[in-house]
Amino acid sequence: MASKAIKRKPYTADIDRSEKQMETIIPDSVREPLLGNRTHESKSERHEPNMQPNLWDGKGQERLGWMHIISTFIAQSVRKIGNALSQFGPLLAKFFSRSCASHGSHDEQTVLLDLSPLQEERLRFLRQRLNVPFDSSSVKHQDALKELWRLAYPSRQLPPLKSDLWKEMGWQNSDPATDFRAGGFMSLENLIYFARNYPDSFHSLLHKAAGKRSEWEYPFAVAGVNISYMLVQMLDLQSGKMGTKVSSQFVQLLREDEMAFDNLFCMAFQMLDAQWLTRQASYMEFNEVLKSMRIQLEQELTIGSISCVQEMPSFRLLKR
């Protein structure tokens, strides 16, 4: 999903999806200084019991010896018990933390247990869609790409499947098939759905008609593929866990709208362009704008009881 940076009327632009990874350095452990032993005591500080001389006979020495052995045994036992407790404490804490984590994960999955058969079926169908890669040898996929051109340029002649004219839509090069990659065939379906259901917004974004545009604009088609892939990641659709608040809320939208993902794609695309204009961004800032749009989208998904995409605040940006 990359394209080279181009000027205002895009040939193509390569959106660099690579992100810098921060390097974590673990500091050396800090050793506390040992407490020093007191080796010298003044005579006045030493306790010298006043014993009678008859206590130092054989029996007295034997009794003192046994007392020393017993006291040593008790001291060692107490020390061992203390060490055992100090080791047992972290194990006990770890046990309770795992127990709480297990309980927490169970609570997160209760949302899935409450899904209706209709929701489960729509979620299953959506996952099937995202697992289909774009196949340039498939007649169905070729026809879909041609349909996108007709919707984008209804008055222009359809070019060959490999032509530099595709660059005008914002593909990387003369062969659009090379740009789908992680977005798969569903990203093409998203663009077609956008063009059919919100043609005014679609053509406005395609032709960069709204607002003051940057000299170096983002490429329309490649941006759409990036948005599709971002939504799959945000909604955690590939893992199947749906454990986050955002993904759980999205599943609820499937109750009212089987095309919730496609409608969310259209709104996200419009949100991206709105932030692009507000920030007066240029080509090299695309990834930053995409991340900022994702944060806003997550917030709108979780602000309250939303039953469909049409109830989200930014949906009003779309025009049919």
Q: What is the pLDDT of residue 241?
A: 74
Q: What is the pLDDT of residue 239?
A: 80
pLDDT per 10-residue tile (average), the chain, 320 residues: 47 41 33 33 39 43 54 58 51 40 38 77 95 97 98 97 97 94 95 98 97 94 98 90 87 94 98 97 96 97 90 95
Task: Report the distance separating Cα 129 and Cα 192, nearest Å.
Answer: 14
CA distances from 278 to 53, 172, 219, 292, 301 (A): 99, 26, 18, 12, 22
Q: What is the pLDDT of residue 71?
A: 55
* Residues whose CB is less than 8 angstroms from the CB of residue 209 and which lie 6 or more positions away in sequence, other chains included: 203
Whether this prediction's pTM lies above 0.75 is answered by: no
Q: What is the pLDDT of residue 84?
A: 55
Structure tokens at 258: 């089987």
Task: Report the distance separating Cα 94 and Cα 89, nearest Å.
Answer: 9
